[in-house]
C-alpha cells in the first residue's frame, strides 16, 4: 500500500441493544451530510447484539437519514491505530428532516425539553462505567493484582495513560481511570455535563476504551456479568438539577437527606416507576444476575444516604477546603449497566422524575439497614419493593405501567419489546454461565 490512508468519520447512533452503529464517511461527505444526512433503515433499531432482527413494527420498508451533530464530534488520534477514531453523534430523522419516533437521542432531547418547560429545571449528569480489561490469550493464567492498587493499574501497561490521553483529546473530560474491585476490572468517570452531552460521552468512552484495548492486543468487556460468580460491571448514572440560571437546585440544607423539594419529588417519581424503569436501564438477561442483594448494586426501590446497596444513593459532598455542598450535591442511580442504551436510560430517569414533580410526590423515606432482614410490614412501611429479578419480569412491569409506556412513542416501545424478546428467545434453554459468556462476548 502506498500513500497515506484516508481518515473516516463515523456518523453514529446507538440502538436498543446499546450497540453503536453508523456510517463511516470522508470529511467532504460529512460536510454534505449535515444538510442531507446519510441513509439509514428503520429496522436497524431492532438489531440484537447477536446480529439478528426480531419481529418489529418497522418491517422491511422505510428509509431514514442520519444527521450528524457536529457539536458532538469526538476525535482522537492517540489510540495506536493507523487513523484517528472520529465519532460524530447523529440524530435519526425522516426524509423531510422531521424527528423520527425511534431515535433514542431524540427521545432524551424531548424528555429534557419537557422537564424544562414544566419546571424550568435542567439535568446535569455523568456516567460511571465499569469494564473488564481482559488479558491477552498468551497470558490467560496471569495472577490478578490487588484491587484498587498501583500494581493493578501499572500491570495494564500503557492502557491507562493511553486511554486518558485519548479521552482528553476527544473532549470528554475523563476524571478518573482506576482499577476496581474485580479481577482485571476498571472504572472510568467523566466530568459532569448537561444530560445530552453526558449520554454522548458515555457512548464515546465505550468506543474509545474498546479501541485502545484492541490496539494493545486486549479486549474491553462492559457486560454486566461476564462470569456468573465474578464481580459484575455496572453503569452508575449521577444526576443533579439546575434552575434556568444554571444555579444548583438539588440541595436544601434543611430538606430530608438535604434534598430540595423538587429533587425529593424527582426521586419519588423514579422510585414509583422503578420496576418498569429497570427494563430500560438494565436491559439484558444477565443484568439481573447482578441486581441482587449484597452485591453493592441495587435490588429494592430504595433511596439511601451514601449506601451503595441503594438504587438511588444520595452522594456525599466535601466541605473541607471551602467546598460548596450545593454545587457538589447529586444523586446516583445504580440499577444500570452497559446493555442499556444511555439515551433511553437517562430519558426514562428524567421522565420518571418529572412525573414525580408533576404529581407533587412527597419526599420518599431514606432507608437504612438491610431490606432482606426486614419483615413485610417493615418493607411496606418504608415503601420498599423488590426490583424485578429477571428481564422477563422487568418487561412485564414496563408493559403494566401505562404512565411509563406513555413517555415514549408506541412504535419505539414495541421495538424495544421486540428486541428484548428476541434476545430472550436466543437464550432460552441456556444455563446462566452460558448466558453470561454469550453477553460477555458481545459487550
Radius of gyration over every alpha carbon of the chain, rounded to an integer in angstroms: 21
Q: Could you report the per-residue pLDDT of 114-158, keeping only the tens digit for each?
A: 999 999 999 999 999 999 998 766 565 566 788 778 887 777 889
Which residues on neighbouring strands pair with residue 171, listed in sequence order? none
For residues 277 and 349, is the Cβ–Cβ distance under 8 A?
A: yes
Q: Is it the case that residue 219 has pLDDT exceeding 80?
A: yes
C-alpha grid cell, residue 342: 444511555
Portion of the chain with pLDDT greater than 90, in percent: 73
Q: Check: CATH 1.10.3720.10 for 108-442? A: no
Residue-range domain boundaries for the chain? 9-100, 108-442
Q: Is it the case that residue 305 has pLDDT exceeding 90?
A: no
Other CB atoms within a 10 A radius of the CB of residue 93 amount to: 18
Average pLDDT over residues 433-437: 95
Q: Is it the case that residue 247 has pLDDT exceeding 90?
A: yes
Q: Is it the case that residue 182 has pLDDT exceeding 80?
A: no
Q: How far apart are CA 405 and CA 108, in angstroms?
A: 15
Average pLDDT, the chain: 92
Look at residue 1 in the predicted model and tell me its pLDDT: 44
Its CATH class, for the domain covering 9-100, is alpha beta
Model's pTM, two decimal places?
0.94
For residues 54 and 422, is the Cβ–Cβ distance under 8 A?
A: yes
Look at residue 258 in the predicted model and tell me its pLDDT: 92
| Residue among 347, 265, 355 nearest 312 (CA) | 265
Residue 120 backbone dihedrals phi, psi, to 5 degrees: 80, 0
| Residues 6+ positions from 151 with CB-CB distance below 8 Å | 145
Average pLDDT over residues 425-433: 94
Amino acid at each position: 500500500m502506498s500513500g497515506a490512508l484516508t481518515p473516516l468519520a463515523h456518523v453514529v447512533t446507538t440502538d436498543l441493544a446499546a450497540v453503536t452503529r453508523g456510517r463511516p464517511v470522508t470529511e467532504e461527505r460529512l460536510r454534505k451530510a449535515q444538510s442531507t444526512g446519510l441513509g439509514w433503515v428503520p429496522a436497524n433499531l431492532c438489531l440484537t447484539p447477536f446480529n439478528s432482527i426480531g419481529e418489529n413494527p418497522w418491517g422491511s420498508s422505510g428509509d431514514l437519514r442520519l444527521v450528524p451533530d457536529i457539536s458532538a464530534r469526538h476525535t482522537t488520534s492517540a489510540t495506536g491505530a493507523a487513523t484517528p477514531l472520529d465519532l460524530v453523534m447523529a440524530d435519526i430523522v425522516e426524509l423531510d428532516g422531521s424527528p423520527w419516533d425511534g431515535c433514542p437521542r431524540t427521545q432524551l432531547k424531548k424528555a429534557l425539553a419537557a422537564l424544562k418547560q414544566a419546571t424550568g429545571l435542567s439535568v446535569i449528569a455523568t456516567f460511571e462505567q465499569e469494564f473488564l480489561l481482559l488479558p491477552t490469550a498468551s497470558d490467560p493464567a496471569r495472577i490478578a493484582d490487588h484491587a484498587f492498587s498501583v500494581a493493578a493499574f501499572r500491570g495494564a501497561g500503557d492502557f491507562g495513560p493511553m486511554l486518558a490521553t485519548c479521552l482528553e483529546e476527544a473532549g470528554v473530560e475523563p476524571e478518573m481511570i482506576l482499577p476496581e474491585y474485580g479481577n482485571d476490572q476498571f472504572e472510568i468517570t467523566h466530568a459532569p455535563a448537561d444530560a445530552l452531552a453526558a449520554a454522548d460521552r458515555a457512548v464515546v468512552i465505550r468506543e474509545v476504551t474498546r479501541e485502545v484495548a484492541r490496539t494493545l492486543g486486549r479486549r474491553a468487556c462492559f457486560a454486566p456479568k461476564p462470569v456468573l460468580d465474578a464481580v459484575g460491571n455496572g453503569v452508575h448514572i449521577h444526576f443533579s438539577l439546575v434552575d434556568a440560571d444554571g444555579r444548583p437546585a438539588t440541595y436544601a440544607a434543611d430538606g430530608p437527606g438535604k434534598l430540595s423539594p423538587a429533587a425529593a419529588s424527582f426521586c419519588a417519581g423514579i422510585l414509583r416507576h422503578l420496576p418498569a424503569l429497570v427494563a430500560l436501564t438494565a436491559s439484558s438477561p444477565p443484568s439481573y444476575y447482578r441486581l441482587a442483594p449484597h452485591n453493592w448494586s441495587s435490588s429494592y426501590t430504595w433511596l439511601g444516604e451514601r449506601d451503595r446497596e441503594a438504587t438511588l444513593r444520595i452522594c456525599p459532598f466535601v466541605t473541607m477546603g471551602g467546598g460548596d455542598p450545593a454545587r457538589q450535591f447529586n444523586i446516583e442511580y445504580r440499577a444500570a449497566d452497559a446493555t442499556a442504551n444511555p439515551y433511553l436510560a437517562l430519558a426514562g430517569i428524567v421522565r420518571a422524575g418529572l412525573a414525580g414533580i408533576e404529581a407533587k410526590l412527597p419526599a420518599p423515606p431514606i432507608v437504612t439497614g438491610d431490606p432482606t432482614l426486614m419483615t413485610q410490614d417493615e418493607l411496606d412501611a418504608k415503601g420498599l419493593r423488590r426490583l424485578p429479578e429477571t428481564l422477563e419480569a422487568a418487561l412485564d412491569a414496563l408493559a403494566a405501567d401505562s404512565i411509563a409506556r406513555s413517555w415514549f412513542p408506541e412504535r419505539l416501545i414495541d421495538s424495544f419489546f421486540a428486541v428484548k424478546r428476541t434476545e430472550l428467545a436466543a437464550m432460552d434453554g441456556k444455563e446462566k454461565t452460558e448466558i453470561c459468556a454469550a453477553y460477555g462476548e458481545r459487550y
